[in-house]
Amino acid sequence: MSDIYAPSLLRRILTYTAWTVIAVVTYVAWNAIAAWSQKFFGFRNGDGNGSHYLFFSGSGSDLAYLSVFWGALVFYRKNNCHRALCWRLGHYDQLDPLTGITHKLCWRHHPAVKQRALKLHHIEAIHGRYLEHRRRRAS
């Protein structure tokens, strides 16, 4: 077997030295990161308090704010328009008479609503239809 593929002594020394430097730097960096994170997140014991107490009374108490985020996300998902990829809130119900499923639709996708808000002439037309209906019931 030929030794032309065997690394030279200098190359072996440089390789071992490089791996040693990498190991030392990793060890020092890991300890520094661990010490910083223990202090930052409140894991470090001190003043007679346990690490769990320090975490939950410190940065761990901020986990409660995640519930606000998830609550807003669930509210939006529950109330947005049921048409695919529509981001608007579904203010109008559309009943499917065959399945009995009520879909929430926005003003743009509901078949009976053609504008974002009622105008005065729409309100007057609705009131006129109501008065006509009441007049027919009375007679």
Residue numbers at the binding site for Zn ion (CB under 5 A):
81, 83, 86, 88, 106, 109
- For residues 54 and 81, which CB has a smaller minimum distance to Zn ion in the complex? 81
Q: How far apart are CA 50 and CA 35, in angstroms?
A: 16
Q: Smallest gap, in angstroms, from Cβ of residue 83 to Zn ion?
A: 4
- Distant-in-sequence, close-in-space partners of 44: CB < 8 Å, separation ≥ 6: 35, 38, 51, 54
Q: How far apart are CA 119 and CA 96, in angstroms?
A: 28
Q: Smallest gap, in angstroms, from Cβ of residue 36 to Zn ion?
A: 48
- For residues 38 and 86, which CB has a smaller minimum distance to Zn ion in the complex? 86
- For residues 51 and 94, which CB has a smaller minimum distance to Zn ion in the complex? 94
Q: 50: which 2 tokens? A: 């346990």
Q: Smallest gap, in angstroms, from Cβ of residue 115 to Zn ion?
A: 14
